[in-house]
Structure 1
Amino acid sequence: MQRQAIALFPTCLLAADDKTVVMLAGDVMLGRGIDQIQRHSVDPRIYEDYVHSAVDYVRLAEQKSGPIPRRVAPEYVWGDALSILRSLAPSVRIVNLETAVTASGTPWPGKGIQYRMHPANVDVLTAARIDCAVISNNHVLDWGREVLPDALSALHRAGVKTAGAGSNLEEASAPAIFDLKEGRILVFAMAHESAGVPSSWAASPARSGVNLLRDLSGNDVIANIKRYRKPGDRVVVSIHWGGNWGYDISPEQERFAKTLIDSGLVDIIHGHSSHHPKRIEVYRGHLILYGAGDLINDYEGIGGYAEFRSELSLIYLPALSKSGAIESMLLVPMRMQRFRLNRASADEREWLLRLLQRESRGLRFATTSEGLILARPD
Structure 2
Amino acid sequence: MISKIAILSLTFALLAVDQQADIKAMRNNAHDFVPQDTAAALTLFLCGDVMTGRGIDQVLQHSVDPEIHESYVKDARDYVRLAERKNGTIPKQVSYDYIWGDALEVWRRESPGLKIINLETSITNHNTPWPGKVVQYRMHPANVPVLTAAGVDFCSLANNHTLDWGRPGLAETIKTLSEAGVPFAGAGLNLNEARKPAIFKKRQGRIIVLAYGSQNSGISPDWAAARDLPGINLLPDMGESTVKMVQQQVKEIKQQGDVVVFTVHWGSNWGYDVPPSHQYFACQLIDKAGVDLVHGHSSHHPMGMEVYKGKLIMYGAGDFINDYEGIGGHEMYRGDLTLMYFPNIDPVTGQLKSLKMVPMQVRKFKLNYASTSDTKWLQGTLNRECNKLGTSVKLNQDGSFFLSW
Q: TM-score, normalised by structure 2?
A: 0.88
Q: What corresponds to 2:350 in structure 1?
A: 324
Q: What corresponds to 1:51 in structure 2?
A: 73
Letter in 1 for 2:72: Y
Q: What corresponds to 2:369 in structure 1?
A: 343
Contact 1:365 1:373 in 2 (8 A): yes
Quote the Cα distance in structure 2 between the aligned partners of 1:257 and 1:157: 34
Quote the Cα distance in structure 2 between the aligned partners of 1:14 and 1:188: 27
Contact 1:238 1:269 in 2 (8 A): yes
Quote the Cα distance in structure 1 between the aligned partners of 2:352 and 2:127: 42
Q: What corresponds to 1:70 in structure 2?
A: 92
The structure whose residues are more often helix, as a share, is 2
Q: What corresponds to 1:214 in structure 2?
A: 236
Residues 199-250 of structure 1 show CA distances to partners (whole Å, capped at 9, x for unaligned) of: 0000011111000011112232222222222222100001011111001111
Quote the Cα distance in structure 1 between the aligned partners of 2:288 and 2:380: 32
Larger mean CA deviation between 170-179 and 213-222 belongs to 213-222
Q: What corresponds to 1:293 in structure 2?
A: 318
Residues 322-347 of structure 1 show CA distances to partners (whole Å, capped at 9, x for unaligned) of: 21100111101000011100000011
What is the Cα-based RMSD across aligned positions, in Å?
1.4
Select which of 121, 134, 138 maps to 1:99.
121
Select which of 183, 192, 197 maps to 2:205.
183
Select which of 254, 267, 275 maps to 2:300.
275
Task: Provide the secondary structure at the position in 1 that maps to 2:67.
Answer: coil
Contact 1:102 1:117 in 2 (8 A): yes
Q: How does 1:259-274 map to 2 (within 5 A)?
A: 259-263=284-288, 265-274=290-299
Residues 239-269 of structure 1 show CA distances to partners (whole Å, capped at 9, x for unaligned) of: 0111110011111111110100112611110
Quote the Cα distance in structure 2 between the aligned partners of 1:268 and 1:160: 22
Change (3 A) 1:364 1:249: closer
Change (3 A) 1:232 1:318: same
Residues 18-64 of structure 1 show CA distances to partners (whole Å, capped at 9, x for unaligned) of: 20000000000000001000001100000111000000000011111
2:185 is the counterpart of 1:160: no
Residues 146-166 of structure 1 show CA distances to partners (whole Å, capped at 9, x for unaligned) of: 221211121122221001000
Contact 2:38 2:344 in 1 (8 A): no
Task: Provide the secondary structure at the position in 2 that maps to 1:296.
Answer: coil
Select which of 217, 239, 256 maps to 2:281.
256
Residues 177-199 of structure 1 show CA distances to partners (whole Å, capped at 9, x for unaligned) of: 11001000011001011001000
Contact 1:105 1:143 in 2 (8 A): yes
Q: What corresponds to 2:399 in structure 1?
A: 371
Letter in 1 for 2:134: G
Structure 1, unpaired ranges of 5+: 1-12
Contact 2:61 2:94 in 1 (8 A): yes
Task: Provide the secondary structure at the position in 2 that maps to 1:85.
Answer: helix
Q: TM-score, normalised by structure 1?
A: 0.94
Letter in 2 for 1:100: S
Contact 1:237 1:268 in 2 (8 A): yes
The structure whose residues are more often strand, as a share, is 1
Quote the Cα distance in structure 1 between the aligned partners of 2:216 and 2:403: 29
Letter in 2 for 1:92: L
Q: Flag the structure with larger Rg.
A: 2
Letter in 2 for 1:312: L
Letter in 1 for 2:244: N
Letter in 2 for 1:375: L
Letter in 2 for 1:140: T
Larger mean CA deviation between 285-294 and 363-372 belongs to 363-372
Letter in 2 for 1:261: I
2:139 is the counterpart of 1:117: yes
Quote the offset at 1:364 in angstroms. 3.5
Letter in 1 for 2:252: R
2:105 is the counterpart of 1:88: no
Quote the offset at 1:17 in angstroms. 4.6
Q: What corresponds to 1:227 in structure 2?
A: 252
Letter in 2 for 1:31: G
Task: Provide the secondary structure at the position in 1 that maps to 2:320.
Answer: strand
Structure 2, unpaired ranges of 5+: 1-34
Letter in 2 for 1:89: S
Letter in 2 for 1:56: D
Quote the Cα distance in structure 2 between the aligned partners of 1:364 and 1:45: 44
Quote the Cα distance in structure 2 between the aligned partners of 1:60 and 1:137: 25
Letter in 1 for 2:369: R
Quote the offset at 1:106 in angstroms. 1.1
Contact 1:14 1:319 in 2 (8 A): no
Task: Provide the secondary structure at the position in 2 that maps to 1:226.
Answer: helix
2:378 is the counterpart of 1:352: yes
Quote the offset at 1:15 in angstroms. 9.1
2:260 is the counterpart of 1:238: no
Q: How does 1:8-19 map to 2 (within 5 A)?
A: 16-19=38-41
Quote the Cα distance in structure 1 between the aligned partners of 2:91 and 2:47: 25
